[in-house]
């Protein structure tokens, strides 16, 4: 099965629509979302309206949990807090109900689906081999897909050794039978790896291949909407740099 994996939309409708148009052309069998539908961006309700009906599976992200008021926002930086408070005020009931019902983890075709990490599904950042090693040890999954860091990456475990590998756009990564993988698909709506284009991946669970894709979108349009919504300036500017 060819599964398109999107993550960290963050209320960026222009990025989401560009990704959905791009993946349409690649004809995946289904689409799944790794959470953080909302937070940071100007279109939380529209992103849920557009994406939710297309999803075979989805899990909740830390910004989603905060946006529905299910946890304190103290752990977020001040800019993120400001955006979460704006999102809390803006979310309509249907969108809030949708986010409230999302699970923390899901499984599809042998993929473990979480927002952040198999060890702590909603919150843990896997940026380095050390954190990946702990995640491999905490759960017997073979292939996990994650987001949360907004940086595409792959961690591989072979004979209890863990290494990091790059995940370059449109370079097929073969998933070897005797290895375990944590695949970070990057972010649709707020990339932080220096490439401002939206990111998503397609994972072929039959052929055992993972491929990352990057898609340009009209960033200035999203920035204009953020300005009109009164969202914090640094969150508006960072979209242009992918940081
Ligand atoms: Zn996020």
Tens of pLDDT along the chain (243 residues) come to 999 999 999 999 999 999 999 999 999 999 999 999 999 999 999 999 999 999 999 999 999 999 999 999 999 999 999 999 999 999 999 999 999 999 999 999 999 999 999 999 999 999 999 999 999 999 999 999 999 999 999 999 999 899 999 899 999 999 999 999 999 999 999 999 999 999 999 999 999 999 999 999 999 999 999 999 999 999 999 999 999
* Cβ count near 86 (within 10 Å): 22
The dihedral region occupied by 218, where left means phi > 0, alpha psi between -120 and 50, and beta the remainder, is: beta
- CA 64 to CA 17: how far, in whole Å? 20
* 33 C-alpha to ligand 1 centroid (Å): 12
* 148 C-alpha to ligand 1 centroid (Å): 5
* 159 C-alpha to ligand 1 centroid (Å): 31
* 31 C-alpha to ligand 1 centroid (Å): 18
- CA 34 to CA 62: how far, in whole Å? 11
* 178 C-alpha to ligand 1 centroid (Å): 31
* 104 C-alpha to ligand 1 centroid (Å): 14
Which domains, ranges and CATH numbers included, belong to the chain? 2-238 (3.60.21.10)
């Amino acid at each position: 099965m060819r599964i398109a994996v999107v993550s960290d939309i963050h209320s960026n409708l222009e990025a989401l629509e560009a990704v959905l148009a791009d993946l349409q052309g690649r004809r995946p069998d289904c689409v799944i979302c790794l959470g953080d539908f909302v937070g940071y961006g100007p279109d939380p309700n529209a992103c849920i309206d557009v994406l939710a009906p297309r999803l075979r599976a989805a899990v909740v992200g830390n910004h989603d949990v905060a946006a529905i008021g299910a946890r304190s926002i103290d752990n977020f930086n001040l800019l993120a807090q400001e955006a979460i408070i704006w999102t809390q005020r803006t979310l309509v009931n249907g969108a809030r109900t949708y986010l409230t019902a999302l699970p923390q983890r899901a499984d599809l075709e042998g993929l473990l689906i979480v927002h952040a990490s198999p060890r702590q599904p909603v919150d843990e950042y896997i940026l380095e081999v050390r954190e990946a090693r702990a995640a491999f040890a905490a759960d017997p999954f073979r292939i996990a897909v994650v987001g949360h860091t907004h940086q595409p990456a792959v961690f591989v475990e072979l004979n209890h050794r863990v290494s990091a590998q790059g995940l370059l756009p449109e370079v097929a990564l073969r998933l070897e039978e005797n290895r375990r993988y944590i695949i970070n698909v990057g972010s649709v709506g707020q990339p932080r790896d220096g490439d401002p284009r939206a990111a998503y991946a397609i994972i072929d669970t039959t052929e055992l291949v993972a491929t990352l894709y990057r898609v340009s979108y009209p960033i200035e349009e999203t920035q204009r909407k953020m300005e009109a919504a009164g969202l914090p300036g640094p969150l508006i500017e960072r979209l242009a740099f992918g940081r």
